[in-house]
Structure 1
Amino acid sequence: MRTPKRSTEWRTGLGDFSDCLLAGLLVALASVPVVTAAPAFVAGCRVLDRTRRDVGGPLWTTFWADFRSVARGGLGFGLGCLAAVLLFAVDLEVVASTPGAGVLRPALWLLAAAGAVVAVRTCELVATGAAPTSGGAGAARAAAPVWRRAFVTAARETAAGPKNAVLLAAALGIAVLLAWMLPILALVVAGPLALAAVATGGRR
């Protein structure tokens, strides 16, 4: 007996949704040390990119393999992102005490949003690009230029493609809003965000 097409599509969509949430949970677990958030997000982008193309092995095992392959090279980028967040927090405090706070504060938030989009796009580029997969210190040294090139390319793409940048910024905003409204969702929002990053990248 043939399974109705609509029923098959519904089951496929539900499976994709559960994979997305599982990827988000894995990203959250791998991001516990904070500085590993960038490599964790890269691994999330990779597994979801493979899932949507129906290639690769089980999501659970492939995620951790991908995470280990980019963890060392991505620590520097993760530290840089953490430093940028701390600098932003300090700037907000400084701006709040200046006469032009009404103008400077929105500009600062806009700059932070652009920086966040570039950071997410950098992770997506590393995930869908040719990042090294071998282990050891040599792999870490080889991975560093990959992250630098990805960052430069991400900044260029963000400036050249404002439509995709706005879509990704909207996905980021929704993720932050969901986590703020219901903190438990912070454990899974990285999955949909990673899928949005891969989808707006348009490289495959």
Structure 2
Amino acid sequence: MRTAKTQWRTGLGDFSDCLLTGLLVALASVPVVTAAPAFAAGCRTLDRTRHGIGSPLWTTFWADFRHAARGGLLFALGCPVAVVLFVVDLEVVRSMPGAGVLGPALWVLAAAVAVVALRTCEVVATESLSWRRAVATAARETAAAPGNALLLAGAAGLAVVLVWMLPILALLVAGPLALAAVATGGPR
């Protein structure tokens, strides 16, 4: 039977693995086009930790990153392009009549796309699917479980607010976000 002290240490170890994973994801994401494979590797690493498959975090992360980077370049390039298109669309919508309705609708659409993108990285990590099949699976899972999608959107929104308030947290916030993606993933 576990004592309270043992449970506390285990929880602290899981928390430190989560933060270390966030740091590794940030390091691997320095070239912006590697952000999606880095996030997928973070999801895979935390999924292993969550299931008690213990191995050195540092080495498994980099092995997972190399595996996720194969075939993920098109998806990884599409993510920054989608962000640029969203910013351009937001500026266009602000100048149009009916901006009070179109603006919030555009933000809801952006949140849905962000959830599908995060879920795609999680699906690539946990199911070992190709990126193309993972996008379809992620969209299907997001539509099938809107509660989980809302939780993941809330986690992503909280991550954005934390980085906005304290920019240094950009180095760590990917770990808890990856854990949220893995925890809200569909049953497999």
- How much has 1:43 moved relative to structure 2? 0.4
Which amino acid in structure 1 is aligned with residue 34 of structure 2? T
Question: Would the alpha carbon gap of residues 99 and 71 (structure 1) be closer, same or farther in structure 2, given more than 3 Å must change?
Answer: same
3-state SS, counterpart of residue 152 of structure 1: helix
Larger radius of gyration: 1
1:98 alignment partner, SS class: coil
User: In percent, how many aligned pairs have the same letter?
Assistant: 77
Match of 1:160 among 144, 147, 156: 144
| Residue matched to 1:190 | 174
Q: Bigger CA drift: 151-160 or 185-194?
A: 151-160
Long gaps (5+) in structure 1: 132-145
| Partner secondary structure for residue 54 of structure 1 | coil
Deviation at 1:74, TM superposition (A): 1.2
- Structure 2 runs not aligned, ≥5 long: none
1:168 is matched by which residue type in structure 2? L
Residue-by-residue CA offset, 1:4-61 (whole Å, 9 max, x unaligned): 7000000000000000000000000000110100000000000100011111410011
Runs of 4+ deviating beyond 4 Å:
none
Q: Which residue of 2 aligns with 1:60?
A: 58
Secondary structure of the corresponding residue to residue 153 of structure 1: helix
Once residues 56 and 100 of structure 1 are traced to their aligned partners in structure 2, the CA distance between those partners, rounded to angstroms, is 54
Partner of 1:85, secondary structure, is helix
Give the aligned partner of residue 143 of structure 1.
none
TM-score between both structures, scaled by the size of structure 2: 0.97
Partner of 1:9: 7
Q: Report the AA paired with residue 107 of structure 2.
A: W
Which of 70, 73, 76 in structure 2 is aligned with 1:75?
73
Aligned partners of 2:9, 2:78: CA distance in 1, in Å? Answer: 41
Residue-pair matches, total: 188
Pairing partner for 2:154 from 162, 170, 189: 170
Does the residue aligned with 1:55 lie in a helix, a strand or coil?
Answer: coil
Go from structure 1 to structure 2 and tell me whether the alpha carbon gap of 1:91 and 1:58 turns closer, same or farther (over 3 Å shift).
same
Matched, 1:109 2:93: no
Residue number in structure 2 paired with 1:28: 26
C-alpha separation in 1, matches of 2:51 and 2:70:
27
Q: Deviations over 1:90-145 (max 9, x none)?
A: 101101110111111100000000000000000000000124xxxxxxxxxxxxxx
1:40 paired residue among 22, 31, 38: 38
